[in-house]
Amino acid sequence: MTDLDEDKPKDGYQREDWQEYYDQDDLRWDLGEVSPPLKRLWQEGVLGAGRMIIPGCGQGHEVLFFAEQGFEVTGVDYTDGGVGLLRNNLQKAGLKAQVVQSDFFELDDSHHGHYDLLLEQTFFCAIHPRDRTRYVDMARWLLKPGGLLAGLFYHTGEDDGPPYNTTQEDIQKNFSAGFEIVRLEKCDHSIEKRKDKEWLVVLCARSA
Ligand SMILES: C[S@@+](CC[C@H](N)C(=O)[O-])C[C@H]1O[C@@H](n2cnc3c(N)ncnc32)[C@H](O)[C@@H]1O
């Protein structure tokens, strides 16, 4: 994702701000395909199988890819633009997934302890850093004990956002209490424009 507009509110984006990008057909964060390191994690057998939730999934390249591999996928996004594109893409591909239009932080009780895996792809960097603790709590609440949080965290090196910078220490500080850190390394096969800027992360939810 390249930096989003500078005249946007400095204290984080609201639903309307994201929707504006969809209205303008300006999906500058969108890779146009499943993120290659996530595909590789699956090829390496790291992600197992079962129920997967993808927060802030946008038009959902990851939703489609993992649905095709047999995961029971739930894609969450709160914009009309994101879920509209995702529904269309699923229909065109003849694939099934649960599409939930909701604020990730307000998912209802039916999602509690329901997932084997939460997949992170440019959502943690899209939320304001003040919401990181809520993200961690929500991830714990969604996952079964022993469930995995796996994905990519964006080390932009910039002060502002979105996308907001994530350092190695940010990951350790936020996740260590609730998760065992199984893997935390600079991704060595990011796409060119994110080269050296992604943390490849696999975390395992601790039992309460
Ligand atoms: C940077 S985009 C990434 C989209 C997708 N993951 C991708 O990589 O193509 C962030 C997405 O998160 C969604 N989003 C941001 N905050 C959200 C929230 N609190 N609840 C649900 N969706 C949210 C936005 O609507 C947007 O589609």
Out of 73, 78, 133, mutate this one to test ligand 1's pocket (max ligand atoms within 8 Å of CB): namely 78
Out of 18, 62, 118, mutate this one to test ligand 1's pocket (max ligand atoms within 8 Å of CB): namely 18
Which stretches within the chain are classed as H helix?
15-23, 36-43, 61-68, 80-93, 132-142, 168-175
Q: Round to whole Å and give the CA distance between 70 and 54.
A: 15
170 burial type by CB count under 10 A (0-12 exposed, 13-18 middle, 19+ buried): middle
- Write down the domain spans for the chain: 33-205
Q: How many CB atoms are closer than 10 A to CB 96? A: 11
- CATH level 3 topology of 33-205: Rossmann fold (3.40.50)
Global pTM value: 0.96
pLDDT tens string, the chain, 208 residues long: the values are 555 655 555 689 999 999 999 999 999 999 999 999 999 999 999 999 999 999 999 999 999 999 999 999 999 999 999 999 999 999 999 999 999 999 999 999 999 999 999 999 999 999 999 999 999 999 999 999 999 999 999 999 999 999 999 999 999 999 999 999 999 999 999 999 999 999 999 999 998 6
